Amino acid sequence: MTSSYLFLNKSAQIFSDKKGFNILALDVRGLSSITDYLLIVEGVVARHVMAMARTQIQEVKPIRIEGLKTGDWVVLDYSEVMIHIFMPGMRDKYQLERLWPESKLVELDIDYSTAVGDGAKFS
């Protein structure tokens, strides 16, 4: 396992624990000149998106942060991994998953039993 794969899984777990949903990781190595992997997650409202981003930032400080003031789309740049945290409408509007149709879906190992609250499971 690569360090990027471990980082993807740890980050996905953080978002799952904070009730992020529709968590998806894409392998864009060789397809994107800016990163190797994308991790995409949705929050319910801007405050939820910002709270998830802050939790991730506390775990590992990114190289660059965009969108934390508005919270509709936050991007955390970790070089090999870029994390996009969206409100649902923004994710639908930009559809990052469709920018790289040749990308491979990365199977994430998320333990949904650790989620905060009622244990709702999202995928």
Ordered domains of the chain (ranges, CATH): 3-102 (3.30.460.10)
pLDDT of residue 64: 97
pTM: 0.89
118 has pLDDT over 60: no
Residue 57 structure tokens: 């930032």
Please name every residue paired with 104 in a beta bridge, in sequence order, or none if there are none.
Answer: 27
**Which residues are bridge partners to 85 per DSSP?**
41, 74
- Which residues touch 122 (CB under 8 Å, ≥6 apart)? 16, 19, 20, 21, 22, 23, 112
Residue 97's nearest CA partner among 26, 42, 29 is 26
Which two structure tokens, joined as six digits, stand for 73?
């789309």
Q: What percent of the chain has pLDDT over 70?
A: 92
Share of residues in the chain with pLDDT > 90 (%)? 86
